[in-house]
Structure 1
């Protein structure tokens, strides 16, 4: 009896494996990043501060599309047309572009490599590096996300993000009271990552650089960014092309981070040489 059950299971698994060779999917994610911008002692009207914060918030609320198969994926921002009356919604501090995760991101789980095509101040870079394998801890909690049962997993990750407040602070004001290296261009710290994955889609892909769980990651949260899946299409009738980006100056993540840091320093010096004019609005 056990042999028949095992043989039947093997036949089912073989069938699933054969079908999986052509398996594809598409997931839509909504990403929101909290904006904590320190205006310091600038003499800016409250209504102007509110307007600036709203623009920064909007610039950091995005929709991403993840196209995937069993071994690879491409993750990119959904392009949206600017609505009439909008004043260049993308002109706030955008954490992703400087950090190197706002461009087209290709992940190959089999090779444990990733490629990011990213634009930095008018120049195209191609970041080519190895995927970081997080030490995931499986938790017992579960919840429903859309039509799928998702399970919780946690890990600790070192996060590096631009410190926009340091760049656009007037010199000599408030730096002595800062908690997170306010004079630095980047904030680097360890944070807890909380992810929710579903074994119902048994691939170890996910949004951004997240991967490595026994199921598609449907939601993930660090200390400031929340990403949640809002729609999934499995095996769409129209075949999805998952192609690695190839254009741009090829660099490692560490090299790109160094270039970003130098550009951030230039921005800070240019802003301070102008005496902090411009009300804190980035150019």
Structure 2
């Protein structure tokens, strides 16, 4: 009888780890005081009025994370026509392109287009600080983890604080964008004023998701890509 229970437990474990699935995330920006920033910008009153109108009506944007035991692929779902109109702050904060992660090869790739050229950017992993703080997201108990992301901007490097809520009840260490490496699946993530929440989780132990690694684009490191963007930016300014 004990042997039967033992084999049953092994079967359950194998079933869990052979699962693949997908998560649909809603992405939105956390409301902040835009009025002060808009008033300080050196733009016309017409432009300020337009910005106030746009920023008050920011619809959520939807993204999909597909994963199996070793790989994941993250991309924006096909936007609806209403999402294509005008400026969307959430889309701007999320950035362009798709993200691919392979944990067995310790590889994270960000495929994106810039200035008409395709790039395949190698991303390094983040160092997480795990905590015992927890909360319930749907039926899952989630734990808080934090890290920092440094983004290259026009004025140099900017630090973005990142908070992730992951559940070890779903034993896959993936998450949205290039965030991964936690003891479970990330169901909620805040990067600066950007907030992503899992709205639908589909697990399918019977059919593994096939994920194709992106291969198109010039292969560069993140440091090399930032240097290319900076050089193009300053070249444009000189021409103008």
Q: TM range, normalised to the smaller chain?
A: 0.7 to 0.9
Q: Which residue of 1 aligns with 2:67?
A: 68
Unmatched tracts of structure 2, length 5 or more: none
Q: Secondary structure, in 3 states, of the residue corresponding to 2:101?
A: strand
Return the offset for 1:95.
4.0
The alignment's TM-score, normalised by the length of structure 2, stands at 0.81
Any conservation in 1 of the 2:24–2:199 contact (CA below 8 Å)? Answer: yes
Return the offset for 1:113.
0.6
Is 2:7 aligned against 1:11? yes
Q: Distance in 1 between matches of 2:67 and 2:53?
A: 33
Q: Secondary structure, in 3 states, of the residue corresponding to 1:29?
A: strand
Q: Which residue of 1 aligns with 2:131?
A: 138
Distance verdict in 2 for CA 1:89–1:245, change over 3 Å? same
Distance verdict in 2 for CA 1:43–1:14, change over 3 Å? closer
Deviation by residue 1:196-215 (Cα, 9 ceiling, x = unmatched):
11122111111111112221
Q: Distance in 2 between matches of 1:92 and 1:72?
A: 26
Corresponding residue to 2:20 among 7, 16, 24: 24
Q: In proportion to residue count, which structure has more strand?
A: 2
Query: Cα RMSD (Å) of the superposition?
Result: 3.3
Within 5 Å, which residues of 2 pair with 1:42-191? 42=42, 44-45=44-45, 48-55=47-54, 61-83=60-82, 87-89=85-87, 94-97=92-95, 102-129=96-123, 131-139=124-132, 141-154=133-146, 156-163=147-154, 184=155, 186-189=156-159, 191=160
Highest Rg: 1 or 2? 1
| 197-206 or 237-246, which deviates more | 237-246
Deviation by residue 1:150-191 (Cα, 9 ceiling, x = unmatched):
22223x32321535xxxxxxxxxxxxxxxxxxxx2x4422x4
Q: Distance in 1 between matches of 2:51 and 2:152?
A: 20
Distance verdict in 2 for CA 1:235–1:198, change over 3 Å? same
Aligned residues: 236
Unmatched tracts of structure 1, length 5 or more: 164-183, 274-283
